[in-house]
Amino acid sequence: MADLVVGISDLKVSSNPADCMVTYALGSCIAVAVYDPAAKVGGLLHYMLPDSTLDAAKAKETPAMFADTGIPLLFKSCYKMGADKKRMVVKVAGGASILDESNFFRIGQKNIMAMRKLFWSNNVLIDAEDTGKNFNRTVRIDLGTGKFYIKRAGGQMEEL
Amino acid sequence: MKINKRILKSIKALPPFPATIQKVMALANDPDSSLTELVAVIRFDQAITANILRICNSSYFGLRRPVDNVNDAIMHMGKKNVLRAVMASGLSRYFRTAKGYDVKGGELWEHAVAVALMAQICAARISRPDDSRLFTAAVLHDIGKVVLGEFVHESWRKIQELVESKKHSYLDAEEEVIGVNHAELGGEIALIWKFPDEILKAIAFHHRPDLLADGDAVSWIVYLANQLCHMMGIGVGTDALAYRAVGDVAGRFQLKQRDLEDMMAQLHGSLQGARELVSIVSEQKESGRG
């Protein structure tokens, strides 16, 4: 069984049931994990920032860096492998923040908002979510079973 | 702060600060120092020479023909890159393990390099000249974790409970349970190593630059760079986001939220280019020596 590791500003899709996709150490970044149980296609995105207008050149070179370029690319890449939007299960995690009363460092919250807005305007429902708060998370999808897992820093791996 | 005898024993058992690095740091701070002097110092340290040649011959510099001596390496890499390579190859040896924080040695070093690169990005953003003290302070900011990790490991559950239930920051929790936090302990190590005051303070107060009366820019830049790397999850452990934002770094450096985002995007690129610096630790481990 191969573990496909998804780094920061990276996304992977696969239809190989022997694959597991995993992304580590989500802080303020967000993981969007999708799976189509009929086509048996899954994908995992680890984006870092909410808005690609920050840097158009970077968005072109590394679309998975931003919510508004990474999420559409994740879905399109899954469609190419036979996934259908109506069947896709969508689970998300991350968007944590440090303890910050000034709100200057609230990139985690901005990442959550950007994702919600995008899903809302595209009629995508989130099936499960573990976002916010102030701890790191690891997200894993098992393409053999279509199950999603989450591990919070210092905790155990649990189903999401 | 109360450092118990066992912790004191551990910091005294750390290997002495490498003489070559100390000399190179002094040369780096001296604008009149020549490349010839730099070569003369480096040449006598075989491990550092080997690392510089390896970094210089890496794909990052894209040389057509491999370089086989320090002189040529410096010509190709430039003084600034050589200094970074020297620091990296000399200091990475301390970052092999940090038991207790649930972070592997290689990841702790990756965090050190990332904060150093981010500190340079911050310095450029606020139009402050890049200096080697900033790089040193940023690379070594978590040196206290290397020693404290053992003690965090023993008291892991207590610390975790405080962080989860009482809204303690990880720093406060370390202090309450162990008697000292990793930043202060880093300051003690910097004292033993006879570091300049500016670097010592930046290490000791890297989570609390607001406590420094004469808050120097180096301390605040290391603080900001570290917060951003924690948020990005680069080489951090269980303590990842359990730290508090302090003071008004936005006002001090006239930064907007968008500047933070831009700096994070920039770091992503810089880290790709610094793979060789990051890999120094893991490769030393594989060869089983260093």
Measured between CA atoms, the residue of chain A closest to residue B262 is A54
* CB B218 within 8 Å of CB B137: yes
A139 beta partners: A23, A150
Confidence of residue B287 (pLDDT cuts 50, 70, 90): very low
Q: Hey, is the C-beta of A105 within 8 angstroms of any chain B C-beta?
A: yes
Length of chain B: 290
Single-letter residue type at B166: K
Which helix (H) or strand (E) segment is B95 a member of? Answer: none
pLDDT at B96 over 80: no
Chain B interface mutation, best of A99, A111, A112, A113, highest count of B Cβ atoms under 10 Å: A99
Least confident range of A5-19, B20-34, B155-169 = B20-34
Rounded Cα–Cα distance for residues B197 and B246 (Å): 22
Interface contact B275, partner A, CB < 8 A: no
Which H or E run contains A5?
Answer: strand A2-5
Tokens at residue B30, please? 């001296």
- For chain A, domain boundaries: 2-159
- Chain A residues in contact with B249 (beta carbon < 8 A): 104
| Token reading at B19 | 């003489």
Give the CA angle between residues B130, B134, B136 to the nearest 5°: 125
Stronger pLDDT, A153 or A116, i.e. the higher one: A116
Q: What is the DSSP code string of B21-63?
A: HHHHHHHHH-TT--HHHHHHHHHT-HHHHHHHHHHHTSTTT--
- d(CA B23, CA B275) in angstroms, rounded, equals 26
What letter represents residue B9's amino acid?
K
- Cβ contacts (< 8 Å) between A65 and chain B: which residues? 265, 268
- CA B97, B107, B80, B130 torsion: positive or negative? negative
What is residue A1's predicted lDDT score, i.e. its pLDDT? 56
The ipTM, to two decimals, is: 0.93
> CA B212 → CA A51, B39, B89, B200, B219, distances in Å?
36, 37, 31, 12, 9
Q: Spell out the residues 6+ positions from residue A86 whose beta carbon is closer than 8 angstroms to its own.
A: none
Q: Name the average pLDDT for chain B.
A: 84
Q: Which residues pair with A90 in a beta bridge?
A: A34
CB pairs under 8 A, 24+ apart, for B78-83?
Answer: B79/B35, B79/B38, B80/B130, B82/B38, B82/B42, B82/B52, B83/B24, B83/B28, B83/B132, B83/B135
B135: exposed, middle or buried (C-beta count within 10 Å: 0-12, 13-18, 19+)? buried
Choices 1.10.3720.10, 3.90.1330.10, 3.30.200.20, 3.30.1330.200: CATH for A2-159: 3.30.1330.200
Spell out where B155-237 has E strands: none
Copy the structure tokens of residue A132: 């916010």
A104-108, B55-59, B150-154 — which one is most confidently predicted on average? A104-108
Which residues, numbered 3 to 22 in chain A, qualify as contacts with chain B under a Cβ-Cβ cut-off of 8 Å?
8-9
Number of A/B CB contacts below 8 angstroms equals 103
Q: Do B268 and A153 touch (CB under 8 A)?
A: no
Residues 17-76, chain B, touching A (beta carbon < 8 A): none
Quote the pTM value.
Answer: 0.90
**Structure-block tokens of residue A40:** 């048996």
Q: Smallest Cβ distance to A49: which of B160, B234, B264?
A: B264
Q: CB neighbours (10 Å) of residue B270?
A: 16
A20 is catalytic: no
- Per the DSSP assignment, residues forming a β-bridge with A23 are A139
Contacts of A105 in chain B (CB under 8 A): 227, 231, 245, 260
Give the mean model confidence (pLDDT) for residues A111-128. 96
Find the angle CA(B149)-CA(B154)-CA(B159) to the nearest 5 degrees.
80
Q: Which pLDDT score is estimated for B109?
A: 86
Q: Which residues of A touch B238 (CB under 8 A)?
A: 136, 153-154
How far A8 CA lies from chain B's nearest CA (Å)? 8
| Model confidence at B262: pLDDT above 60 | yes
B244 forms bridges with which residues in the sheet?
A99
Catalytic member of A29, A92, A107, A112: A29
Closest listed residue to residue A151, CA positions, set A22, A48, A36: A22
Q: Is the pLDDT of residue B69 over 70?
A: yes
Handedness of CA B264, B270, B274, B275 (dihedral sign): positive
Pick from A46-60, A98-112, B126-140, B203-217: least confident: B126-140
| Selection from A102, A105, A97, A108 nearest residue A49 by Cα | A108
By C-alpha distance, which of B167, B170, B164, B52 is closest to B103? B170
Rounded Cα–Cα distance for residues B244 and B219 (Å): 15
Give the separation between CA A65 and CA A111, rounded to whole angstroms. Answer: 11
Mean pLDDT for the stretch of residues A36-63: 96
CA distance B73 to chain A (A): 31
